[in-house]
A and B are shown apart, each in its own frame.
Chain A
Amino acid sequence: MRHDQKGSIPANHLLAVTGLGVRFPTPKGPVDVVKDLSFTLDRGQTLGIVGESGSGKSMTSLAIMGLLPKDAKVTGSILLNGSQTVDRSDAELRKLRGDSMAMVFQDPLSSLNPYYTVGLQITEAYRAHRNVSRRAARAVALEAMAQVQIKDPQLRIDQYPHQFSGGMRQRIMIAIALCCEPDLIIADEPTTALDVTVQAQILALMADLQKETGAGMIFITHDLAVVSQVAQNVIVMNTGRPVESGTTEQIFSAPAHPYTRALLNAIPRLDDDLEELKMVQEFTRPKVTPAAVTTS
């Protein structure tokens, strides 16, 4: 993970985020949920964004997708394929959403509409960006379902989300995200709601598909173990600010920031004999957050 000097961001990055800030007005004054976040992502690469609840990871992904609530104020710059997305109209962003960039959400059950077949929910994503007939879109959906390794797509395409298991639902979400062959996939805690065994399958699937399509991926999670499996680079976030960034090996082998060390220490190990789980609580207040560290 390289932090480029301001103004010298090469145009060939898939995604270049510079000085990103997200601010919400509240009755007690404005709150910065993301501040001073910069990173780049190239095609075929995976960037892990790690942090606790409320660290601003999901807000970052929603800011990139242009899906933040209307009262959120976004500052800084987000260049997708070299073109600015901050301050674009919703109609313009809509053309990018689902097409150039797609998102896989945390809870696949509530993220799918229970009233419609999975087939419709995949084809509508495709037809939003490609002017094709229902029949053609259905063929694409069948192909996408086969791609995410759902057996009997011909039969399953006309079923409803509640007829699928958790892992299968997440495969549908991935099929929705992949059907327009996006350049950028943002996965926001895609395996958090799943069983550990299913988690491993989904992670393997996502890694395979990424290799196949060459898309860039942002993988957001609070699970450091998951990040170590999928990401080449990692950003650790705390209370909306990046506290450490670097390659995955560097972060895991030699964490420089005390918060990162605390996070890594909080992972329970089988050979530990703990009375209670370790906490990372002293870092949740912004005042005590030491300056950010770039490990590379």
Chain B
Amino acid sequence: MVSYFLRRLFSVAVILFFVSFLTFVIFFQLSPDPAVMICGKTCTPERIEQIREQLGVNQPFLTQFFTFLGGIFAGRSYGAGEAAIHCAAPCLGFSFQTSQSVMDMIVSRLPVSITIAAGAAVLWLLIGVSAGLISAIKSGTWWDKGAMMFALGGISLPNYFIALVLQYVLVVQLQILPFPSTPDFAEDPLFWFQSYIMPWSVLAFGYASMYARLTRANVLDTLGENFMRTARAKGLPPLLVLRRHALRPSLTPIVTLFGMDFAGLLGGALITETVFGLNGVGKLAADSIGKNDQPVIMGVTLMAALFVVVANVVVDLLYAFLDPRVRIKA
């Protein structure tokens, strides 16, 4: 068990190393020279060289990459002597645009993204899984057809479209909700809820649709299993047959999917945050891409990768716990 865990941790490290290497190549080496960008219009070659020196981009590529990695684990300094700026570990560098620490920028945006992801996750699990269950149990009825129509809508309608329609109807026309924003829960819980409910719903709609279809398919598969017939042949009450024998095999794969989806959203719900103008990690990423703010893009990408890779390990461990056939061999 411990050795399995260590091996997984090692593979996480390897994956993150390659992800950071790739992002570094793409964003730093194949992008326009940041020194030119920072320097602005009234610029001299000497000034550019000076900035390059300070950013360290005049160094050979691999040196730059390992300086960047070193910054994450041990911190680093930009420039030398009196003018040097120290960046404490974990250092992801400074934004070219605002000169803020990338780490601070991400950390300050994380609570918004976590709130959006968590609220949406509660909604889509409740709605998606129960709709899928009802569809499967009442397969072929109008319940089933209605739920599946709804799910098809959720999968095919882009969420920026739904977001704009909802915002127009509920906020502009009916005025029953405020424009989405990111207030503090402690100050005014009701306002907090009203501000977040629309982003949650929009984000949850697509996921709920996917989960409803998946749950339905899984439950229908399980209902056709031979062990279901055995359970009925034992004379167990129908609800126990369903709860014990059908639900667990059907929902176990959904746990895996959920772990990955949720982790993906912690790296920012890019479209939802952008459409509603919520300052989460997703919007930070979108803004930085627009401004070619490479350190920020790099930081957000790495962090999103970290969430997904770690979630992958957590899900695998959880799966071994949920499915006795996948016991871990130490």
Which residues from chain A sit less than 8 Å from chain B, CB to CB? 65, 67, 90, 94-99, 102-103, 105, 107, 110-117, 121, 124-125, 128-129, 160, 162, 173, 176
CB distance from A239 to the nearest CB of B (A): 24
Most buried by B among A103, A113, A176: A113
Q: Are A110 and B227 closer than 8 Å at their CB atoms?
A: yes
- In this complex, how many residues of chain B approach chain A with their Cβ under 8 Å: the count is 22
Q: Are A160 and B234 closer than 8 Å at their CB atoms?
A: no
Q: Are B234 and A97 closer than 8 Å at their CB atoms?
A: yes
CB-defined contacts of A176 to chain B, threshold 8 Å: 230, 234
* Complex: chain B residue closest to A125, CB-CB: B234
Does B13 sit within 8 A of A, measured CB to CB? Answer: no
CB-defined contacts of B248 to chain A, threshold 8 Å: 115
Does B235 sit within 8 A of A, measured CB to CB? Answer: yes
Q: Are B229 and A105 closer than 8 Å at their CB atoms?
A: yes
CB-defined contacts of A90 to chain B, threshold 8 Å: 238
Q: Are B235 and A97 closer than 8 Å at their CB atoms?
A: yes
Q: Are A97 and B233 closer than 8 Å at their CB atoms?
A: yes
Q: Which 8 A-B pairs have the closest CB atoms?
A: A98-B235, A97-B235, A125-B234, A110-B226, A98-B234, A113-B227, A160-B324, A111-B226
Does B237 sit within 8 A of A, measured CB to CB? Answer: yes
The docked-state distance in angstroms from the alpha carbon of A74 to that of B230 is: 21
Does B231 sit within 8 A of A, measured CB to CB? Answer: yes
CB distance from B222 to the nearest CB of A (A): 10
Within 8 A of A (CB), among B214-268: 225-227, 229-238, 240, 244-245, 248-249, 252
CB distance from A64 to the nearest CB of B (A): 11
The docked-state distance in angstroms from the alpha carbon of A97 to that of B233 is: 6
Q: Are B226 and A115 closer than 8 Å at their CB atoms?
A: no
* Complex: chain B residue closest to A62, CB-CB: B229
Total of A-B residue pairs, C-beta within 8 Å: 73
Most buried by A among B227, B232, B233: B233
The docked-state distance in angstroms from the alpha carbon of A162 to that of B235 is: 24
CB-defined contacts of B225 to chain A, threshold 8 Å: 110
CB distance from A60 to the nearest CB of B (A): 15
The docked-state distance in angstroms from the alpha carbon of A107 to that of B248 is: 21
The docked-state distance in angstroms from the alpha carbon of A101 to that of B256 is: 40
Q: Are A103 and B233 closer than 8 Å at their CB atoms?
A: yes
Q: Which of B232, B233, B249 contacts A113 (CB 8 A)?
A: B249
The docked-state distance in angstroms from the alpha carbon of A110 to that of B236 is: 18
Does B325 sit within 8 A of A, measured CB to CB? Answer: yes
CB-defined contacts of B252 to chain A, threshold 8 Å: 115
The docked-state distance in angstroms from the alpha carbon of A83 to that of B234 is: 20
The docked-state distance in angstroms from the alpha carbon of A65 to that of B235 is: 10
CB distance from B246 to the nearest CB of A (A): 10
Does B33 sit within 8 A of A, measured CB to CB? Answer: no
Q: Are A114 and B324 closer than 8 Å at their CB atoms?
A: yes
Residue-wise, chain B 168-195 has the 8 Å CB interface mask toward A (1 for contact) of 0000000000000000000000000000
Q: Are A97 and B232 closer than 8 Å at their CB atoms?
A: yes
CB distance from B101 to the nearest CB of A (A): 48
Does B323 sit within 8 A of A, measured CB to CB? Answer: yes
* Complex: chain B residue closest to A160, CB-CB: B324
* Complex: chain A residue closest to B252, CB-CB: A115
Q: Are B226 and A94 closer than 8 Å at their CB atoms?
A: no
